[in-house]
Amino acid sequence: MTDRDGQPGTSGIWTFVFIDMVVFLFLFVVYVSERLRLTDTFVEAQHHLSPAVGLLSTLALLTSSWCMAEAVHAARRTDMRRTGLALSAALLFGAVFAVNKIIEYGGKFEAGITPVTNGFYTFYFLITGLHFLHVLGGMVFMIHCRRQLAHESGDPAYVTKLENVGLFWHFVDVLWLFIFPMLYLTEILG
Protein backbone atom coordinates (compact mmCIF):
# COMPACT_ATOMS: atom_id res chain seq x y z
CA MET A 1 0.00 0.00 0.00
CA THR A 2 1.23 3.47 -0.80
CA ASP A 3 1.05 5.71 2.24
CA ARG A 4 0.03 8.79 0.35
CA ASP A 5 -1.68 9.33 -2.96
CA GLY A 6 0.98 9.67 -5.62
CA GLN A 7 3.93 9.11 -3.30
CA PRO A 8 6.29 6.53 -4.76
CA GLY A 9 6.93 3.70 -2.29
CA THR A 10 6.09 3.62 1.41
CA SER A 11 7.07 6.07 4.14
CA GLY A 12 9.28 3.34 5.63
CA ILE A 13 11.67 3.25 2.68
CA TRP A 14 11.98 7.06 2.61
CA THR A 15 12.85 6.98 6.32
CA PHE A 16 15.31 4.13 5.93
CA VAL A 17 17.10 5.82 3.04
CA PHE A 18 17.39 9.07 4.99
CA ILE A 19 18.84 7.34 8.06
CA ASP A 20 21.30 5.47 5.84
CA MET A 21 22.24 8.82 4.26
CA VAL A 22 23.03 10.20 7.71
CA VAL A 23 25.24 7.18 8.49
CA PHE A 24 27.22 7.79 5.29
CA LEU A 25 27.41 11.52 6.07
CA PHE A 26 29.12 10.62 9.36
CA LEU A 27 31.52 8.35 7.45
CA PHE A 28 32.32 11.16 5.01
CA VAL A 29 32.95 13.56 7.93
CA VAL A 30 35.45 11.11 9.46
CA TYR A 31 37.03 10.53 6.03
CA VAL A 32 37.52 14.26 5.47
CA SER A 33 38.95 14.78 8.96
CA GLU A 34 41.47 12.01 8.35
CA ARG A 35 42.29 13.30 4.88
CA LEU A 36 43.09 16.69 6.37
CA ARG A 37 45.31 15.04 8.99
CA LEU A 38 47.11 12.66 6.60
CA THR A 39 46.89 14.53 3.28
CA ASP A 40 50.14 13.18 1.84
CA THR A 41 49.29 9.55 2.68
CA PHE A 42 45.84 9.90 1.15
CA VAL A 43 47.05 11.59 -2.04
CA GLU A 44 49.85 9.07 -2.52
CA ALA A 45 47.49 6.12 -1.97
CA GLN A 46 44.84 7.58 -4.29
CA HIS A 47 47.36 7.43 -7.14
CA HIS A 48 46.96 3.65 -7.03
CA LEU A 49 43.23 3.86 -7.78
CA SER A 50 42.22 3.90 -11.42
CA PRO A 51 39.75 6.66 -12.40
CA ALA A 52 38.83 4.51 -15.43
CA VAL A 53 37.66 1.71 -13.11
CA GLY A 54 35.68 4.23 -11.08
CA LEU A 55 34.20 5.68 -14.28
CA LEU A 56 33.08 2.25 -15.48
CA SER A 57 31.41 1.62 -12.10
CA THR A 58 29.65 4.99 -12.33
CA LEU A 59 28.39 4.41 -15.87
CA ALA A 60 27.15 0.92 -14.95
CA LEU A 61 25.32 2.14 -11.86
CA LEU A 62 23.75 5.16 -13.62
CA THR A 63 22.54 2.94 -16.45
CA SER A 64 21.17 0.42 -13.98
CA SER A 65 19.35 3.22 -12.16
CA TRP A 66 17.80 4.43 -15.43
CA CYS A 67 16.62 0.86 -16.24
CA MET A 68 15.11 0.64 -12.75
CA ALA A 69 13.23 3.92 -13.31
CA GLU A 70 11.94 2.53 -16.63
CA ALA A 71 10.84 -0.67 -14.86
CA VAL A 72 8.83 1.33 -12.31
CA HIS A 73 7.18 3.44 -15.03
CA ALA A 74 6.32 0.30 -17.03
CA ALA A 75 4.88 -1.46 -13.95
CA ARG A 76 2.62 1.53 -13.29
CA ARG A 77 1.30 1.17 -16.85
CA THR A 78 0.94 -2.61 -16.18
CA ASP A 79 3.22 -3.21 -19.15
CA MET A 80 4.72 -6.31 -17.58
CA ARG A 81 6.80 -7.35 -20.57
CA ARG A 82 8.66 -4.05 -20.51
CA THR A 83 8.90 -4.17 -16.70
CA GLY A 84 10.60 -7.55 -16.93
CA LEU A 85 13.00 -6.38 -19.62
CA ALA A 86 13.94 -3.20 -17.77
CA LEU A 87 14.40 -5.09 -14.48
CA SER A 88 16.65 -7.64 -16.17
CA ALA A 89 18.71 -4.83 -17.69
CA ALA A 90 18.96 -3.08 -14.30
CA LEU A 91 20.19 -6.36 -12.81
CA LEU A 92 22.68 -6.85 -15.63
CA PHE A 93 24.26 -3.41 -15.13
CA GLY A 94 24.23 -3.94 -11.36
CA ALA A 95 26.16 -7.14 -12.00
CA VAL A 96 28.64 -5.22 -14.18
CA PHE A 97 29.26 -2.90 -11.23
CA ALA A 98 29.66 -5.86 -8.86
CA VAL A 99 32.07 -7.76 -11.11
CA ASN A 100 34.10 -4.59 -11.72
CA LYS A 101 34.33 -4.04 -7.96
CA ILE A 102 35.38 -7.64 -7.28
CA ILE A 103 38.12 -7.39 -9.95
CA GLU A 104 39.26 -4.10 -8.42
CA TYR A 105 39.40 -5.61 -4.91
CA GLY A 106 41.24 -8.65 -6.30
CA GLY A 107 43.86 -6.38 -7.88
CA LYS A 108 44.36 -4.56 -4.61
CA PHE A 109 44.79 -7.77 -2.60
CA GLU A 110 47.20 -9.14 -5.23
CA ALA A 111 49.28 -5.99 -4.87
CA GLY A 112 49.38 -6.60 -1.12
CA ILE A 113 46.99 -3.73 -0.36
CA THR A 114 44.55 -4.45 2.48
CA PRO A 115 42.32 -2.32 4.75
CA VAL A 116 45.21 -1.96 7.21
CA THR A 117 47.82 -0.84 4.66
CA ASN A 118 47.26 2.80 5.60
CA GLY A 119 44.54 5.22 6.65
CA PHE A 120 43.30 5.82 3.12
CA TYR A 121 42.80 2.15 2.34
CA THR A 122 40.90 1.61 5.60
CA PHE A 123 38.39 4.15 4.31
CA TYR A 124 38.56 2.90 0.74
CA PHE A 125 37.63 -0.64 1.75
CA LEU A 126 35.15 0.46 4.40
CA ILE A 127 33.23 2.99 2.30
CA THR A 128 33.25 1.01 -0.96
CA GLY A 129 32.66 -2.23 0.99
CA LEU A 130 29.57 -0.86 2.76
CA HIS A 131 28.37 0.55 -0.55
CA PHE A 132 29.02 -2.82 -2.22
CA LEU A 133 26.89 -4.55 0.45
CA HIS A 134 24.10 -2.11 -0.43
CA VAL A 135 24.53 -3.03 -4.12
CA LEU A 136 24.29 -6.75 -3.33
CA GLY A 137 21.25 -6.15 -1.12
CA GLY A 138 19.57 -4.14 -3.89
CA MET A 139 20.28 -6.88 -6.42
CA VAL A 140 18.72 -9.52 -4.15
CA PHE A 141 15.55 -7.39 -3.95
CA MET A 142 15.57 -6.89 -7.73
CA ILE A 143 15.91 -10.65 -8.32
CA HIS A 144 12.94 -11.15 -5.98
CA CYS A 145 10.86 -8.59 -7.93
CA ARG A 146 11.86 -10.19 -11.23
CA ARG A 147 10.80 -13.64 -10.01
CA GLN A 148 7.49 -12.37 -8.60
CA LEU A 149 6.62 -10.49 -11.76
CA ALA A 150 4.67 -13.37 -13.34
CA HIS A 151 2.68 -14.06 -10.14
CA GLU A 152 1.99 -10.52 -8.97
CA SER A 153 1.67 -8.53 -12.19
CA GLY A 154 -1.18 -6.05 -12.09
CA ASP A 155 -1.26 -6.06 -8.29
CA PRO A 156 -0.88 -2.47 -6.94
CA ALA A 157 1.13 -3.92 -4.03
CA TYR A 158 3.68 -5.17 -6.58
CA VAL A 159 4.08 -1.66 -7.99
CA THR A 160 4.67 -0.28 -4.49
CA LYS A 161 7.20 -3.05 -3.80
CA LEU A 162 9.02 -2.24 -7.03
CA GLU A 163 8.97 1.49 -6.17
CA ASN A 164 10.53 0.69 -2.78
CA VAL A 165 13.28 -1.38 -4.40
CA GLY A 166 13.77 1.37 -6.98
CA LEU A 167 14.11 4.06 -4.30
CA PHE A 168 16.73 1.99 -2.52
CA TRP A 169 18.57 1.35 -5.79
CA HIS A 170 18.61 5.05 -6.73
CA PHE A 171 19.93 5.87 -3.26
CA VAL A 172 22.79 3.40 -3.83
CA ASP A 173 23.44 5.33 -7.04
CA VAL A 174 23.37 8.73 -5.28
CA LEU A 175 25.91 7.48 -2.73
CA TRP A 176 28.24 6.34 -5.49
CA LEU A 177 27.95 9.71 -7.24
CA PHE A 178 29.84 11.21 -4.28
CA ILE A 179 32.10 8.24 -3.51
CA PHE A 180 33.44 8.26 -7.08
CA PRO A 181 34.90 11.80 -7.12
CA MET A 182 35.89 11.59 -3.45
CA LEU A 183 38.06 8.48 -3.88
CA TYR A 184 38.92 8.30 -7.58
CA LEU A 185 39.05 11.83 -8.97
CA THR A 186 40.71 13.96 -6.31
CA GLU A 187 43.99 12.04 -6.78
CA ILE A 188 44.38 13.63 -10.23
CA LEU A 189 45.04 16.89 -8.45
CA GLY A 190 47.61 15.41 -6.09
Partner 1 sequence: MNESTKRAIERALAWTGPLFVVMVTYFWGVQGHNIPPPNFMAMTPDQLISEYYGKYPEIGPAMIGVATFGLFYTTWSCLVASIMRDENGQATPLSNLELSGGILTGWLFAFCGALWAACSQLVGQVDPGVIKMVHTFTWYIFDCTYMITTMQMVGLGLWTVLNKKQTIVPAWAGWAAIAVGAGFVPLVFMPFVTEGPFAVNGLWNFYIIFGAWLILFFMVYSSYILKHVYRSPEEQRRALGMPATA
Partner 2 sequence: MTGWLRSPFRVWLALILLTCLSVLGAEKIEGRAIVLGSIFVIAALKAELVIDHFMEARRAERYWLIMYLIWVVAVTCLLTIGHMPHMWT
Applying CB under 8 A, the residues found at the interface with partner 1 are 11-12, 15-16, 19-20, 22-23, 26-27, 30, 33-34, 37-38, 115-116, 119, 122, 126, 130
- Compute how many other C-beta atoms are within 10 angstroms of the C-beta atom of residue 37: 10
Name the minimum Å distance from CB 112 to partner 2. Answer: 27
25 binds, among partner 2, partner 1, none (CB under 5 to 8 A by kind): partner 2
- If phi over 0 gives left and psi between -120 and 50 gives alpha, with beta otherwise, what is residue 76? alpha
Q: Which is nearer to partner 2, 31 or 158 (CB)?
A: 31
134: number of CA atoms within 13 Å, CB side?
A: 25
Q: Which is nearer to partner 1, 13 or 67 (CB)?
A: 13
What are the Cα distances from residue 121, in Å, to 22, 51, 117, 183? 22, 16, 6, 10
Q: Which is nearer to partner 1, 38 or 56 (CB)?
A: 38
What are residue 17's phi and psi, to 5 degrees? -60, -40
Q: Are 162 and 71 in contact (CB under 8 A)?
A: yes
Q: Are 86 and 70 in contact (CB under 8 A)?
A: yes
Name the minimum Å distance from CB 16 to partner 1. Answer: 5
68 binds, among partner 2, partner 1, none (CB under 5 to 8 A by kind): partner 2
Question: How many residues are recorded in the chain?
Answer: 190
Name the minimum Å distance from CB 163 to partner 2. Answer: 9
141 binds, among partner 2, partner 1, none (CB under 5 to 8 A by kind): none
Q: CA–CA separation, 99 vs 45, rounded Å?
A: 23
Contact footprint for partner 2 (CB under 8 A): 4, 6-9, 11, 14, 17-18, 21-22, 25, 28-29, 31-33, 35-36, 39, 43, 51, 55, 58-59, 62-63, 65-66, 68-70, 73, 166-167, 170-171, 173-174, 177-178, 180-182, 185-186, 188-190
Q: How far apart are the first and last CA of the chain?
A: 50
Q: Which is nearer to partner 1, 31 or 184 (CB)?
A: 31
